[in-house]
Amino acid sequence: MLALSAMLTALSLALLYMAALVPSGRMGLTAAAGLFPAAAVVSYGLPAGFLCYGGTAILALLLLTDKGLAMLYVFFFGLYPLVKGIVERMRRLPLELLLKLLFFNGVFSLVLFGFSALFFSLVPWEGLPVGGLYLAGNAVFLLYDFGFSKLICFYRERVDRVLRKT
């Protein structure tokens, strides 16, 4: 478990480092870095996911020059796979959806009102109506969650099965 978590932490940090270097696709690379804690949760459970997330978060805050990307990982893209893993254990779809949306809107509010100076460089949302931002954000989040679920299923069926055989 520890070796896999360390490997996934390194891969996640590598994607975050690339996101800090490239001029475009930064948000996508940061989101992709969140796939590795999800892989740790699928393979070895929540403790492995927390190890991967915690290690990546600390190293990203220490090593990345773009602290905005590091904070985006810490507050959403790295943490969401763990929240998703906990919430989806309830097996009650309406409650799961409500809790996921509450998490997203809480983080979105924190970013929008608390850390706006860090994130306005990532997303050009200055001057847009707040209600429209929440509406668009929730729609994008639901698409993200659906796609993220599909990627987790792919990992479980194709990658994790092969890893467990070796």
Each residue's pLDDT tens digit, 30-65:
999 999 999 999 999 999 999 999 999 999 999 999
* DSSP designation for 25: -
Q: Give the residue with greater pLDDT, 24 vs 12.
A: 12
Q: Residue 50 CA to chain centroid, in angstroms?
A: 12
How many domains does the chain fold into? 1
Contact of 78 with 29, CB cutoff 8 Å: no
CATH classification of the domain holding 89: 1.10.1760
* Amino acid 73: pLDDT: 94
Average pLDDT across the chain, whole number: 89
Residue 136: pLDDT over 70: yes
The pLDDT confidence band at residue 132, using thresholds 50, 70 and 90, is confident
* Amino acid 81: pLDDT: 95
Q: How far apart are CA 149 and CA 141, in angstroms?
A: 12
Mean pLDDT of 146-156: 94
Mean pLDDT of 8-14: 95
The string of DSSP codes covering 51-63 is: HHHHHHHHHHHHH
Q: How far apart are CA 135 and CA 21, in angstroms?
A: 31
Domain hosting residue 29, numbered range: 2-165
